Every structure is written in structure tokens, then in C-alpha cells.
Amino acid sequence: MTDLPYNPSRGQSQMTKMVLRIVLYVLLGLFALFYLMPLFVMLTTSLKSLDEIRTGDLVSLPREVTFDAWRTAWSTACTGIQCEGVRPYFLNSLLIAIPAVMISTLMGALNGYVVAQWRFKGANIFFALMLFGCFIPFQVVLLPMARMLGIMGVAGTIPGLIFVHVIYGLGFTTLFFRNYYVSIPSELTKAAKVDGAGFFRIFWSIFLPLSLPIIVVTVIWQFTQIWNDFLFGVSFSQAGTQPVTVALNNIVNSTTGVKEYNVDMAAAIIAALPTLFVYVVAGKYFIRGLTAGSVKG
């Protein structure tokens, strides 16, 4: 049995691929380090005392770990004239985000189902108008929305903020579900109609059980947008209904007393924990759900 002749070009090609792969990993590592450095600084600063922050290095590990800043940020930090911490505002954000996500997701699913499977005259125009709503800047809707909330009698209330987030998020949720539902064969709907199933029976029994990937995408998207929102929260809320982002801004910009950087960092991490949790738990399903309906339509 004769050995195959050595091919120098083949060995050189493999070496080039290995070098490129190493360079790629190094670049990705540097990008990850650059991206995670602010989170590292926030976490380490929140675990330090004020004396150590003043005398130590910004990126150094804490010499003595203390959670006093976290307790202060949660329960006693001043957000103006009140010193209740971020706890009541955190609960306000939960009361706003959870219903708004559920309502906007369900309404987006119904809209996407209608546009994709129950074609009617003007469906494309309707979808185009809904899509147009995704690109309207927040600032444009402030005055009309404030007027509408005043007419409805829910200005400065948590139901009013829920209404604002549902309306503004409806264009995105409709887009997500419509693009997902167009990939489902229309013959499935026709067969269900032949069997006597109606509009809502087909939706609840057939389409909704198939929608788990896009529901995950919509929930992650809406929850992140609503939880991180500051403009609507500061514009349409009042004392007692402000979300956690507004409280965080008030804590950081408070001018009374000593500037407690460790409390500021702890409050920022507390405010970001829910969205971090959502992405850690369900982030891998986000891209999978987005691409699930990309084959057709």
C-alpha cells in the first residue's frame, strides 16, 4: 500500500484556518470583556464600603464584601423626599409589566392570526398601518397619549401605564405573530372550517398550541421594552405609581447627603435583575422563535 503524497498547500490551508479561528476567538473574548466590564464594575462597587470606594481602584475586587448597599438600595435609599428604596417602585414595575405583556401578547396573537389566516379586504393596508406604528418615536405620542389618558380618567395610574404599553407594543406583537402564522399551511384552517370549527375554536385549539416559540419571543421582547422604559414611566405616572426606572433616576440624581456610589450601583443591578433573569432563562429561545416563521412570508 503506497502512502499518499504530501500536499503542502493542504497543510498551509489548515494552518491558516487554525490561525483565523484563534484570532476570531481572541476578538470575541475581547468584545465580551469590553461588554461585561461595566457589569463587573457595578457589581464590585455595590459590594464595597464607601471608604473603600474612595481609597481603592475602580476595577479592584472588594477587600471586604458587604451587602449594606443592597439593603439600603432596596428599602431605605432616598428617591427625593421619600426614603423607601426601590422596593415599592419594583412592585409597581411588576404590576405594569406583567399585565401589559399578557394583554399585548394575546392581542398581537389575535391580530396576527386574522391577518395571516383570515384574509379580508384591506388586510395588507391594516398590517402596513400596524407596522408603521412600530416606527413612531416615543416623543411623538406623548401629547396625544396624555390627552387620551385624561379623557379616559386613568392619567397617572398603573392601569393608564398598562394601556400605554399595550398600545405602543401592539404593532410589534402583531408583526411577530403574523410572520409566524403565515408559515402555517392555510389548508389547516380550511380543514378545521369543514369540521365545523369557528374563528375562536381554531385559534385556541390549533394556532395557540403551535405558538410557543413566538410567544416566548414576544414575551421577552415586550417585557424587556416595558421594564426598561423610562420616558412613558416619567411622563404618565405620579407619586405612588412610578416604575423602578424612574426611582433609579431619582436615586442617582439625588443631591441630598453624601453621594453613595455603592447604593447607586446596587439599585441599578436590582432594577436590571428581572430582564437579566428573563434572558438567562429563555434567551436561547429568542433567536429560535424569531427564525421559526422566516421560511415563508
CATH code of 167's domain:
1.10.3720.10
Does one domain contain both 207 and 62? no
Does one domain contain both 53 and 152? no
> By the 8 A CB rule, do 178 and 108 touch?
no
In this prediction, residue 7 has a pLDDT band, given cuts at 50, 70 and 90, of: low
Does one domain contain both 247 and 139? yes
Neighbours of 34 (CB within 10 A): 9
Q: What is the mean pLDDT of residues 236-253?
A: 90
Domain span at 93:
87-294
**Nine cell digits for residue 131:** 407596522
Does one domain contain both 145 and 270? yes
Please tell me the total count of domains within the chain.
2
What are the pLDDT digits (tens) for 102-137?
999 999 999 988 888 887 787 788 888 888 888 888
Question: What is this structure's pTM?
Answer: 0.84
Report how far residue 260's alpha carbon sits from residue 70's, in angstroms, rounded to the nearest whole number.
11
The per-residue pLDDT for 297 is 44
Residues comprising the chain, all counted: 297
Residues 6+ apart with CB under 8 A from 39: none
Report how far residue 142's alpha carbon sits from residue 64's, in angstroms, rounded to the nearest whole number.
47
Report how far residue 146's alpha carbon sits from residue 154's, in angstroms, rounded to the nearest whole number.
10
Report the amino acid identity of residue 46.
Answer: S
> By the 8 A CB rule, do 282 and 220 touch?
yes
Reply yes or no on whether the pLDDT at 99 is more than 80.
Answer: yes
Q: What is the mean pLDDT of residues 62-71?
A: 89
Does one domain contain both 94 and 240? yes
Answer yes or no: is 278 within a domain. Answer: yes
Report how far residue 32's alpha carbon sits from residue 66's, in angstroms, rounded to the nearest whole number.
27
What are the pLDDT digits (tens) for 32-50?
999 889 889 999 999 998 8
Answer yes or no: is 74 within a domain. Answer: no
Give the residue from 221, 219, 272 showing the smallest Cα distance to 244.
272
Does one domain contain both 134 and 15? no
